[in-house]
Structure 1
Amino acid sequence: MTAYAVAHMRRVERTPEIREYLERIDATLAPFGGHFVVHGDLPQILEGEFPGVLIVIGFPTLDEARAWYGSPAYQEILPLRLRNSDSDTFLVQGVEPDHRGIDVLV
């Protein structure tokens, strides 16, 4: 089942380190079937507040998302982002296409 790595980027400094991170991240995603679904778009706020931008990376499974984040290749470039941004980052499991709202109560 599809899973997602999600980052709410509250602040990003466009430094040479961020450029290097962005140049290298795609190669870290490929072995795990990861791909950008949303990348840096300003959300259209309908309720509440959301300062910053959103990043969503899709993976075939939650195990592959975990393996990507913990991989030596990603861990090597992660400090480039951490030193130059403030964010909340997490992994989340997707749902099947036939999922209904009430299914969370069953």
Structure 2
Amino acid sequence: MPAYVIFIREKTTNIEELNVYASKAPSALQGHLLKPLVMYGMHEVIEGPEVEGAAMLEFPDIEEAKSWYYSPAYQDAVKHRLKGGTYRGIIVEGLAKVGSAE
């Protein structure tokens, strides 16, 4: 089943660190099967506290999502994202595709 990594940026605290993250994160995608679906576009909060933005990545399954997130390349990048803002991140399993044997 597909899996999704969702990041919610609640507040930017250090734009320079986020710029370092932005320069390092793309190289961490190499060798991983993922599809960016949402990348901090226009949004409207309909429940809960205001946020600055959100990103969502689609993976073939939870194992691939974890493999990407915990990879040395992404861990090198993510430390800068976490120094640059207040974030929430989750990995969530999606639904089986209609007609799938899963």
TM-score per shorter chain, which class?
0.7 to 0.9
* Contact kept? 2:13, 2:83, Cα under 8 Å: no
Hey, what does 1:43 align to over in structure 2? 43
Structure 1 unaligned blocks of 5 or more: 100-106
**TM score, norm. by length of structure 2:** 0.82
Q: Give the residue type in structure 2 aligned to 1:65.
A: A
Identity over aligned pairs, percent? 22
Structure 2 unaligned blocks of 5 or more: none
Cα RMSD between the aligned structures? 1.9
Structure 1 residues 14 and 24, CA, compared in 2 at 3 Å: closer, same or farther? same
Question: Which deviates more from structure 2 when the two are superposed, residues 28-37 or residues 62-71?
Answer: 28-37
Structure 1 residues 66 and 80, CA, compared in 2 at 3 Å: closer, same or farther? same
Q: Give the residue type in structure 2 aligned to 1:43.
A: H
C-alpha distance in 2 between matches for 1:49 and 1:35: 27
C-alpha distance in 1 between matches for 2:62 and 2:94: 9
In the TM superposition, structure 1's runs of 4+ consecutive aligned residues that sit over 6 Å from their partners are none
Pairwise CA distance, 1:44: 2.7
C-alpha distance in 2 between matches for 1:36 and 1:21: 16
C-alpha distance in 2 between matches for 1:58 and 1:23: 21
Q: Give the residue type in structure 2 aligned to 1:72.
A: P
Correspondence 1:3-18 to 2 at 5 A: 3-13=3-13, 15-18=15-18
Hey, what does 1:74 align to over in structure 2? 74
Deviation sequence 1:69-91 (CA, Å, 0-9, x none): 11111111111011111011010
Partner-residue secondary structure (3-state), 1:43: coil
More helix, by proportion: 1
**TM score, norm. by length of structure 1:** 0.79
